[in-house]
Chain A
Amino acid sequence: MSKIVKTATGLLCGVVFMYGLYIITHGHLTPGGGFAGGVLVAGSFILLILAYGSDVLMLRKEETESSVTESSAILIVLILAVIGMFAGGAAFMNNYFQFGEVGELISAGVIPLYNIFIGMEVASALLTIFLAFVIYKKEVLK
């Protein structure tokens, strides 16, 4: 890619990443949440890969990592939900933290935690899919 694209992407991807994090952490207050924010976070990584390119070996390593992150994130969501069976209302997915004040960032009990880990899961899943396509294409062309 040309220098213009690289510089512009370098400036832009940080903003996209931060916006994704904002959407994830404010999931219980504003529209959007784990999924929408996760897509944005994945988008910032994909922009970087598209602009700067990368060799297959690096991509493979990255794919392994993102795949492990994905599985771990969904496991943590499951564990958070299972903890509900032992705390508070004793039911799966029960909201067992204090709710706090409506409209504050730290409120809504366990929901923000779900949002954060679902955001992680979606971001790494989309990244894994993208990387799988890139690796496949590079291997076929070779």
Chain B
Amino acid sequence: MDNLVILFVIVPLGSAFLIPIIGKFIPHFQKALSLLALLFLCTLILNYLFTGNSQCIIYKVAGWEAVENVPIGIYLVLDGLSAFLLLIINSIGFLVVFYSFSYMRKYTAENYFYTLLCLMIAGMNGVVLTGDLFNLYVFLEIAVIASYALVAFGIEKDELEASFKYQVLGGIASLLILLGISLLYWQTKTLNMADISHVISTQADSKTTLFIQIILITGFGIKGAMIPFHAWLPDAHSSAPSPISSMLSGVLIKAIGIYAIIRLFYNMFAITYEIALIITVIGTLSMVIGGLLAIGQWDLKRLLAYSSISQMGYVVIGIGMGMLILISNGDKMVASMAVAGGLFHLINHAVFKGLLFLNAGAIEYATGTRDLKQMGGLAKDMPVTSSTSMSASMAISGIPPFNGFFSKLLIIIAAIKGQYYLLAALAVLVSIITLAYFLKFQRYAFFNKTKYTGSALVKEVPFTMAFSMIVMGVLCLVLSLLIFPGIREIILSPAVEVLMETTEYSSKIIGL
């Protein structure tokens, strides 16, 4: 396994550039290759999780060894947290590719679609694997530039506008991140995250560090669509082709936004009270305002996009609360519970929001509309879509025994134990708001008495689309198991441990 870590970048990158050459001559090559590549990566990461005993693998690109404990090359680091994110990226990617087989038929230039998708996955895998700050920026740009093109894939007026907006805000974010990285390089004279952490801990210049932290929070906050920086998300996620919306909402904002914040502020910078407070406040704002904005939406995919902002708020609250408890010398168990809740909600959100966007795609595929007012009574004609979306809606609103219930429960219990009563109350309140707007979606799309009156004959979607939706619908239920001892130790606990160790990450990698 040690030497196979790099395959997470090579395989999707290689497939991305094989597709436009060979795909021209062999029909269906693009689908087969991207599916096989992602299946392979899924097997690889599952193999690591179930046999690796959560050991930390360090891969030195080009074989550059450290000189006097100072890393000089690029390091790829596969630990619990990276493995957790890799599992999400590649498994959701696999299901999305399978779904796209039928969905993308109405578009021309399928080759380019699969090329860009593979490129985006290569970028995200790189972001979560790398242990080098500038390398993180490079992979982040690969992923987001591919996503700019994918958002504009329909090349209609709306798509182009959304993509342009996304590019402008994404460009500002990239600029801020690059500025933060260069300031950090100026301050510490190194780019390796573990080494930066080591150097920063010996320096007394906390004002510069604070400035850099603020810049980085803003940059990654824009990428992760936290509330003051969320303007691009509802447009971009609702205009993209549905499999891509599912990828963007389910995976991309987590892998390049939330993951980077978690990794940098837990493992690289020493945790400070101010930063922990800022992160928690941003999370709370996202959770409450995102939820309130979602209620009034009549465009199905816009509703789901606002709901993404709200649900990512839960994740960030869990993470921020963990930091707050750690820094105020609270109970470490409570901190790890808050972080576990956040990370658990992250994987749950990837599954049910991915599924909801696939459902929205299926409805659009069958009826040709995204407007909730024009739908109605689809439950009878589209049983698979209806039942899977019911499962996802229940999960996202936190109804037991679906997975969303357990992750929200963990966050709320941690908030009460850590004496953040306001956060606990808000989390419950937003959960009820979530239930409200998902009941609205269920009612207007599937159970309304006024039947859909469009010209198209409504029938169930083709097999590949239905298959992906069913698998994810079942996953909504199965993932609840992650909370129980025995299964928790395989996937969730290693990721939480990495964060609980905070700056020991550095000593583990540079070996001091």
Taking A94-B62, A94-B63 as contacts, is the C-beta distance between A78 and B17 under 8 angstroms?
yes
Taking A78-B10, A82-B10 as contacts, is the C-beta distance between A89 and B17 under 8 angstroms?
no
Pick the contact of B21 from A68, A89, A90, A95 — CB < 8 Å? A68
Does B13 sit at the interface, judged by CB under 8 A?
A: yes
Q: Decide if B20 touches A90 in the complex (CB within 8 Å).
A: no
Q: Decide if A78 touches B61 in the complex (CB within 8 Å).
A: no
Q: Decide if A78 touches B14 in the complex (CB within 8 Å).
A: yes
Question: Which residue of chain A lies nearest to B6 when distances are taken between CB atoms in the complex?
Answer: A92
Q: Decide if A95 touches B62 in the complex (CB within 8 Å).
A: yes
Residues of B contacting A90 with CB < 8 Å?
A: 3, 63
Shortest Cβ gap from A76 to chain B (Å): 10
Does A71 sit at the interface, judged by CB under 8 A?
A: yes
Number of interface residues of A (CB under 8 A): 19
The total of interchain contacts (Cβ-Cβ below 8 angstroms) comes to 44
Distance A94 CA – B21 CA, assembled complex (angstroms): 26
Q: Decide if A71 touches B62 in the complex (CB within 8 Å).
A: no
Residues of A contacting B32 with CB < 8 Å?
A: none
* Chain B interface main SS type: helix
Q: Decide if B62 touches A91 in the complex (CB within 8 Å).
A: yes
Does A7 sit at the interface, judged by CB under 8 A?
A: no
Does A46 sit at the interface, judged by CB under 8 A?
A: no
Does B18 sit at the interface, judged by CB under 8 A?
A: yes
Does B60 sit at the interface, judged by CB under 8 A?
A: yes
Distance A119 CA – B20 CA, assembled complex (angstroms): 20
Q: Decide if B21 touches A92 in the complex (CB within 8 Å).
A: no
The B-contacting residues of A in range 67-96, CB under 8 angstroms, are: 67-68, 71-72, 74-75, 78, 81-82, 84-85, 88-95
Number of interface residues of B (CB under 8 A): 15
Distance A74 CA – B62 CA, assembled complex (angstroms): 18
Residues of B contacting A93 with CB < 8 Å?
A: 61-62
Distance A94 CA – B61 CA, assembled complex (angstroms): 7
Q: Decide if B62 touches A85 in the complex (CB within 8 Å).
A: no
Shortest Cβ gap from B422 to chain A (Å): 49
Residues of A contacting B63 with CB < 8 Å?
A: 88-91, 94
Distance A80 CA – B60 CA, assembled complex (angstroms): 17
Distance A88 CA – B6 CA, assembled complex (angstroms): 17
Task: Name, among A84, A92, A94, the residue most crowded by chain B CB atoms within 10 Å (CB to CB).
Answer: A92
Taking A68-B20, A91-B60, A92-B61 as contacts, is the C-beta distance between A85 and B14 under 8 angstroms?
no
Q: In the complex, given contacts A67-B20, A68-B21, A85-B6, what are 8 additional A-B residue pairs having Cβ atoms less than 8 angstroms apart?
A: A71-B17, A75-B17, A75-B18, A90-B3, A90-B63, A91-B3, A93-B61, A95-B62
A interface list, Cβ under 8 A from B: 67-68, 71-72, 74-75, 78, 81-82, 84-85, 88-95
